[in-house]
Amino acid sequence: MDLSFVKQKLEANANRGAGREKIDYTKIFWKPKAGKYQIRIIPNKFRKEWPLREIQMHYGFSKGPILALSNWGEEDPITGFAKGLRKSADKDDWTLANKISPKTRYFAPVIVRGEESAGVRLWEVGKLVNDQLMGIASDEDYGDFTDITDGRDFTVEAVEDVIAGRKGIKCNLRIKPKTTPISEDAALVEKVLNEQPDILAINRRYTYEALKEILTKWLNPEAEEEQVAPSTPSAPADPLPAAQSDWV
């Protein structure tokens, strides 16, 4: 045994991430607590045709979600494996496919009235809110609610509720009847239109091989345990990358 190698490995594990700048996610994401808010959805810098950006995420493989490679138009091994399972006539295969298939979440760039100095933050919502907003946009009485000069604010009433068996926040959305500009401050308007967080740049982008390894270990957890002899002390586990441990 090379004890110098063991020492170097332990030091590397202890210092991993020490040089990484800590990200304040409260400045990137807007997560309302119970209460009533007035917000404005801003035209999306990264998606001109619709303000909400669709993001595919893998859940259940780590403490936080993992961005699917399909977000970059690339082949994803977890998604591919799920598609293969759906070719089977076995009910259990379909159950597993549904479990590991990526889930779609939507991110809207918003400013919160009274908190304009915080700039644009991303509001994460599900399909129901996205569909509700599409219905409003298609209504000729409302139209483009993101319009810079003649758009509309929304009232968001956030209430505590039980969602999928867990306590969470449920948001009720109502559009304001009166049209208003984003702001009378031209500098603020320019800032919110051009300075928006990029959801794809915030979290770690895994390679195809890395995701394949994650899937393999998830499917065969015993295989990894068997590699370590019972009498051999194991080294401390590597901490999760920021993309997984700091996700909000």
- Mind giving me the DSSP string for 37-57? EEEEEPPPTT-SS-SSEEEEE
pLDDT number for residue 199: 93
DSSP string covering the chain = --HHHHHHHHHHHHHTTTTSPPP-GGGTB----SEEEEEEEPPPTT-SS-SSEEEEEE-SSSSS-EE-GGGGT---HHHHHHHHHTTS--HHHHHHHHHHS-EEEEEEEEEETT-GGG--EEEEE-HHHHHHHHHHHHSTTT--TT-TTTB--EEEEEEEEEETTEEEEEEEEEE-SS-B-S-S-HHHHHHHHH----HHHHS----HHHHHHHHHHHH-HHHHHHTS-TTSPPPPPPPPPHHHHS--
* Model confidence at 6: pLDDT above 70: no
Task: Kindly state the average pLDDT of the residues 145-160.
Answer: 96
Distance CA 52, CA 50 (A): 6
Least reliable range by pLDDT among 129-133, 184-188, 240-244: 240-244
Distance CA 167, CA 34 (A): 12
| Nearest CA among 73, 88, 85 for reference residue 208 | 73
Reported pTM: 0.78
* Model confidence at 146: pLDDT above 50: yes
pLDDT in tens, 153-169: 999 999 988 776 778 88
pLDDT number for residue 216: 96
pLDDT number for residue 244: 33
Please give the share of the chain, as a percent, with pLDDT higher than 70.
80
pLDDT in tens, 170-220: 899 999 999 999 999 999 999 999 999 999 998 899 999 999 999 999 999
* Model confidence at 12: pLDDT above 60: no
pLDDT in tens, 82-99: 999 999 999 999 999 999
Per-residue pLDDT band at 223 (split at 50, 70, 90): low
* Model confidence at 16: pLDDT above 80: no
pLDDT number for residue 203: 84
* Model confidence at 101: pLDDT above 90: yes
* Residues with Cβ within 8 Å of residue 234, at least 6 apart in sequence: 228
Higher pLDDT, 32 or 25: 32
pLDDT number for residue 233: 43
Residues in the chain: 248
Per-residue pLDDT band at 236 (split at 50, 70, 90): very low
**Mean pLDDT, the chain, integer:** 85
**What is the CB neighbour count within 10 angstroms for residue 24?**
7
